[in-house]
Structure 1
Amino acid sequence: MKTYEVTVERDGRWWMVAVPELDGLTQARRLDEVEQMAREYIAVTTDVPLSRVAVEVSGIAADGQDLLEAKTLVDGLRRRAKDLEAMIAELTREVASSLTDASVPVRDVSNVLGISHQRVSQLVQAAAQSDGDSTKVIRQSRQEFAHDLVIQLADGRAVRLVEVTGPKKNRQSKEPVQQGSGPSVRKAPHPRPAKRPASRSASQKQSV
């Protein structure tokens, strides 16, 4: 089976489907019809069975915008959001459990976490049935999300979606700062050497 690369571009009420390898062009009403229309065109043009034709859409454009790139970005952000939701749920459960174990009133835990006190009780019960470690979860959260989420647009503009405070990664990195390609990274100052205790004088040693 041979795979052909196709590109798609909106033209009026139609999606124009180009097959560069065959220098051919067909059309589809909707995006979900593109693959089938392209395969049928290729099969007829090359005189091969439809079952032996596969296509790969390498680009989708409309009104000057790359829709395939936008789709990839949206799908990636959705996956990231699911990861964040899972981490938030785990962190909330473990923090609720650790605070109640430290005799912090349930209503105060509710205030800290922004959830109802009934929900705090549920989370504490759930945490009691797991072997979670709130310290580990907090450390993992800081390491994983101690950065800014920035989208660099094709025209050079940067859109900041999320700003997360916390320790930055690679603070000791000596790589130069890239201008205009995202959030700036500052070099951490060199640590000062620890002061050694002053040596005792000869007279002090004799008096000991």
Structure 2
Amino acid sequence: MKTFDAEVTRDDRFWLIRVSPLDRSTQAVRYKDVAVMANELIQIMTGLAEHEYRLRINVRLPESVQDHRTRAEVLRAEARHKTAEAAAEHRAAAQELIALGLSQREAGEVLGLSFQRVNQLVNP
């Protein structure tokens, strides 16, 4: 199956779409129309039906935007890691309180967690 690559950039009010290997371009006003416009260009220029090829869209973001996006991904990964650490600490605290004779409901009240969450923590 043939693959067409669409390089997409923002230019003022439009999304510019350059389709390789056709070496042709089109544009879209809204991002949601990028795939539609790229597909139409491919079909007009090649005569292929949409099920006869694959379209790969690559959006080129300004470097500053890409920097923010990369930093956000790093922070999200750190947050997932910290959330897992917090759950492990809550699990240890709940298990210790239950070992001291508290009920799961009491442990939840003491830790500021719901009974259901304590149950999930101590019965993984």
TM-score by length of 2: 0.66
Are the aligned partners of 1:5 and 1:21 in contact in 2 as well (CA < 8 Å)? Answer: yes
Q: What residue number does 2:51 align with?
A: 51
Cα-Cα RMSD:
3.7
**Which structure 1 residue ranges, 4+ long, deviate > 3 Å from structure 2?**
66-84, 99-103, 120-125
Higher relative contact order at CA 8 Å, sep ≥6: structure 1 or structure 2? 2
Name the one with the larger helix percent: 2
- Indicate the SS of the match to 1:96: helix
Q: What residue number does 2:24 align with?
A: 24
- Alignment deviations for residues 148-183 of structure 1 (CA, whole Å, 9 cap, x no partner): xxxxxxxxxxxxxxxxxxxxxxxxxxxxxxxxxxxx
2:95 is the counterpart of 1:97 = yes
Are the aligned partners of 2:16 and 2:28 in contact in 1 as well (CA < 8 Å)? Answer: yes
Provide the C-alpha distance between the structure 1 equivalents of 2:81 and 2:122, rounded to a whole number of angstroms.
Answer: 22
Moved more, 94-103 or 15-24: 94-103
Structure number with greater Rg is: 1
- Indicate the SS of the match to 2:112: helix
Structure 2, unmatched stretches of 5+, are: 102-106
Q: Aligned in 2, Cα 1:48/1:66: closer, same or farther, shift over 3 Å?
A: farther
TM-score by length of 1: 0.44
- The alpha carbon displacement at 1:71 in A equals 5.1
Are the aligned partners of 1:43 and 1:53 in contact in 2 as well (CA < 8 Å)? Answer: no
- The alpha carbon displacement at 1:13 in A equals 0.8
- The alpha carbon displacement at 1:20 in A equals 2.9
Moved more, 94-103 or 44-53: 94-103
Identity of aligned residues (%): 26
Are the aligned partners of 1:6 and 1:19 in contact in 2 as well (CA < 8 Å)? Answer: yes
- The alpha carbon displacement at 1:55 in A equals 1.1
Return the match for 1:117 from 93, 110, 123: 110
Q: What residue number does 1:9 align with?
A: 9
- The alpha carbon displacement at 1:65 in A equals 2.8
2:63 is the counterpart of 1:60 = no
Q: What residue number does 1:130 align with?
A: 123
Provide the C-alpha distance between the structure 2 equivalents of 1:128 and 1:14, rounded to a whole number of angstroms.
Answer: 51
In structure 2, what residue type is equivalent to 1:20? Answer: S
Provide the C-alpha distance between the structure 1 equivalents of 2:52 and 2:22, rounded to a whole number of angstroms.
Answer: 16
Provide the C-alpha distance between the structure 2 equivalents of 1:9 and 1:124, rounded to a whole number of angstroms.
Answer: 46
- Alignment deviations for residues 22-55 of structure 1 (CA, whole Å, 9 cap, x no partner): 1110111222221221111111111111222321
Q: Aligned in 2, Cα 1:21/1:70: closer, same or farther, shift over 3 Å?
A: farther
Q: What residue number does 1:36 align with?
A: 36
Number of aligned residues: 119
